[in-house]
Amino acid sequence: MSKQVSPNVPESVQQRVAELHEILHYHNHRYYVLDDPELPDAEYDKLLRELQDIEEKYPETLTVESPTQRVGALPLSEFTQVKHLVPMLSLGNAFNEEEVLAFEKRLLDKLGEKDITIEYSVEPKLDGLAVSLLYENGVLVQAATRGDGETGENITENVRTIRQVPLKLSGKNIPQRLEVRGEVYMPKASFEALNNKARENGDKTFVNPRNAAAGSLRQLDSRITASRNLAMYCYATGLIEGGTLAANHSDAMKQLADWGLPICPENKVVSGAAGCLEYYNEIGDKRDSLSYEIDGVVFKVNSLELQNKLGFVSRAPRWAIAHKFPAQEQMTLINDVEFQVGRTGALTPVARLEPVFVGGVTVTNATLHNMDEIKRKDVRIGDTVIVRRAGDVIPEVARIVPDKRPADAKEIVIPSHCPVCDSTVELIEGEAVARCTGGLFCPAQRKEAIKHFASRKALDIDGLGDKLVEQLFDEKLIKNVSDLFSLNEESLIKLERMGEKSAQNLIKALEDSKHPVLARFIYSLGIREVGETTAKSLANHYYSLEAIKAADLDSLQSVDDVGPIVANHIVTFFQQEHNNEVIQALLDAGVEPQNPEKRQSTESLPLAGNTYVLTGTLEKLKRNEAKEQLEALGAKVSGSISKNTTTLFAGEKAGSKLTKAEELGVPVSDENELINLLKKLHSDA
Ligand SMILES: NC(=O)c1ccc[n+]([C@@H]2O[C@H](COP(=O)([O-])OP(=O)(O)OC[C@H]3O[C@@H](n4cnc5c(N)ncnc54)[C@H](O)[C@@H]3O)[C@@H](O)[C@H]2O)c1
Ligand SMILES: [Zn+2]
Nearest listed ligand to the Cα of residue 263: 1
Q: Looking at beta carbons, which pairs linking 422-428 to residues 24 or more positions away fall under 8 Å?
A: 423/576, 423/578, 423/579, 424/572, 424/575, 424/576, 425/347, 426/528, 426/568, 426/569, 426/572, 427/371, 428/565, 428/568
Domain boundary assignment for the chain: 11-69, 106-273+288-318, 329-404, 446-588, 602-684
48 C-alpha to center of ligand 2: Å? Answer: 48
Q: Which numbered atom of ligand 1 lies nearest the CA of 42?
A: 43
**Residue 364 host element (H or E):** strand 361-367
Task: Compute the distance between CA of residue 223 and CA of residue 216 in angstroms, rounded to an integer.
Answer: 10
Annotated binding residue 266: no
Annotated binding residue 577: no
Q: Residue 265: is its pLDDT beyond 90?
A: yes
Question: Is 299 close to ligand 1, i.e. is its CB under 6 Å away?
Answer: no
Q: Residue 518: is its pLDDT beyond 80?
A: yes
Task: Compute the distance between CA of residue 259 and CA of residue 243 in angstroms, rounded to an integer.
Answer: 14
* Burial grade of 491 (CB within 10 A; 0-12, 13-18, 19 or more): middle
**Residue 296 host element (H or E):** strand 294-301
The Cα-based distances of 236 to 64, 230, 263, 314 in angstroms read: 26, 19, 10, 19
321 C-alpha to center of ligand 1: Å? Answer: 11
Question: Is 327 close to ligand 1, i.e. is its CB under 6 Å away?
Answer: no
468 C-alpha to center of ligand 1: Å? Answer: 54
The per-residue pLDDT of the chain, averaged, comes to 93
Question: Is 126 close to ligand 1, i.e. is its CB under 6 Å away?
Answer: yes
Annotated binding residue 300: yes
What pLDDT is attached to residue 466? 93
Annotated binding residue 91: yes
pLDDT confidence band for 30 (50 / 70 / 90)? very high
Architecture of the domain whose range is 11-69: Orthogonal Bundle (1.10)
CATH hierarchy code of domain 106-273+288-318? 3.30.470.30
DSSP string computed for 27-70? HHIIIIISS--SS-HHHHHHHHHHHHHHHHH-GGG--TTSGGG-
Question: Is 545 close to ligand 1, i.e. is its CB under 6 Å away?
Answer: no
What pLDDT is attached to residue 423? 96
pLDDT confidence band for 2 (50 / 70 / 90)? very low
Sign of CA dihedral 326, 327, 333, 337: positive
Taking only the tens place, the pLDDT of each residue in 475-487 is 999 999 999 999 9
Fill in the amino acid letter for 145.
T
How many other β-carbons are positioned within 10 Å of the β-carbon of residue 478?
A: 20
pLDDT confidence band for 625 (50 / 70 / 90)? confident
The average pLDDT across 668-672 equals: 92
Nearest listed ligand to the Cα of residue 436: 2
Task: Compute the distance between CA of residue 315 and CA of residue 261 in angstroms, rounded to an integer.
Answer: 26
Taking only the tens place, the pLDDT of each residue in 280-305 is 999 999 998 999 999 999 999 999 99
Question: Is 45 close to ligand 1, i.e. is its CB under 6 Å away?
Answer: yes
Right CATH for 329-404 from 2.60.40.1840, 3.30.2130.10, 2.40.50.140, 2.40.30.10: 2.40.50.140
Question: Is 130 close to ligand 1, i.e. is its CB under 6 Å away?
Answer: yes
Looking at the DSSP assignment, which residues form a beta bridge with residue 426? 435
Query: Is the CATH number 1.10.150.20 carried by domain 446-588?
Result: yes
Question: Is 211 close to ligand 1, i.e. is its CB under 6 Å away?
Answer: no
- Of 638, 543, 552, 646, whose CA–CA distance to 594 is shortest? 543
Residues 188-202 as b or e (16 or more Cβ within 10 Å = b): eebbeebbeeeeeee
Taking only the tens place, the pLDDT of each residue in 138-172 is 999 999 999 999 999 999 999 999 999 999 999 99
Name which residue leads in pLDDT, 585 or 560. Answer: 585
- Of 442, 469, 399, 437, whose CA–CA distance to 206 is shortest? 399
Total number of residues shown for the chain:
685
CB 464 within 8 A of CB 507: no
Task: Compute the distance between CA of residue 325 and CA of residue 650 in angstroms, rounded to an integer.
Answer: 63
The Cα-based distances of 675 to 39, 509, 617, 630, 651 in angstroms read: 74, 22, 14, 10, 12
Closest CA to ligand 1's atom 1: 41
What pLDDT is attached to residue 391? 73
Mutate to test the pocket of ligand 1, among 86, 91, 301 (most ligand atoms within 8 A of CB): 91
Residues 59-89 as b or e (16 or more Cβ within 10 Å = b): ebbbeeebbbebbbbbbeeebeebebeeebb
What pLDDT is attached to residue 644? 84
Mutate to test the pocket of ligand 1, among 31, 86, 263 (most ligand atoms within 8 A of CB): 31
Q: Which numbered atom of ligand 1 lies nearest the CA of 124?
A: 31
441 C-alpha to center of ligand 2: Å? Answer: 7
What pLDDT is attached to residue 599? 61
Q: Residues with catalytic annotation?
A: 125
Taking only the tens place, the pLDDT of each residue in 71-130 is 888 888 889 999 999 999 999 999 999 999 999 999 999 999 988 999 999 999 999 999
The average pLDDT across 270-281 equals: 98
The average pLDDT across 37-41 equals: 91
How many other β-carbons are positioned within 10 Å of the β-carbon of residue 499?
A: 11
Q: What is the ipTM of this complex?
A: 0.96
Question: Is 31 close to ligand 1, i.e. is its CB under 6 Å away?
Answer: yes
Mutate to test the pocket of ligand 1, among 49, 183, 237 (most ligand atoms within 8 A of CB): 183
What pLDDT is attached to residue 602? 67
DSSP string computed for 588-657? HTT---BPPPP-S-GGGSTTTT-EEEEESB-SSS-HHHHHHHHHHTT-EEESS--TT-SEEEE-BT--HH
CB 349 within 8 A of CB 371: yes
What pLDDT is attached to residue 6? 66
Question: Is 510 close to ligand 1, i.e. is its CB under 6 Å away?
Answer: no
Annotated binding residue 45: yes
417 C-alpha to center of ligand 2: Å? Answer: 8
Closest CA to ligand 1's atom 40: 41
Characterize the bridge pairing of strands 346-358 and 434-436: antiparallel
Q: Residue 684: is its pLDDT beyond 80?
A: no
CB 236 within 8 A of CB 307: no
340 C-alpha to center of ligand 2: Å? Answer: 10
Residue 37 contacts by C-beta under 8 Å, 6 or more apart in sequence? 27, 30, 31, 44, 207, 211
What pLDDT is attached to residue 5? 57
510 three-class SS: helix
Question: Is 42 close to ligand 1, i.e. is its CB under 6 Å away?
Answer: no
The CATH superfamily assigned to 602-684 is BRCT domain (3.40.50.10190)
Annotated binding residue 43: yes
What pLDDT is attached to residue 601? 63
DSSP string computed for 654-682? --HHHHHHHHHT--EE-HHHHHHHHHHHH
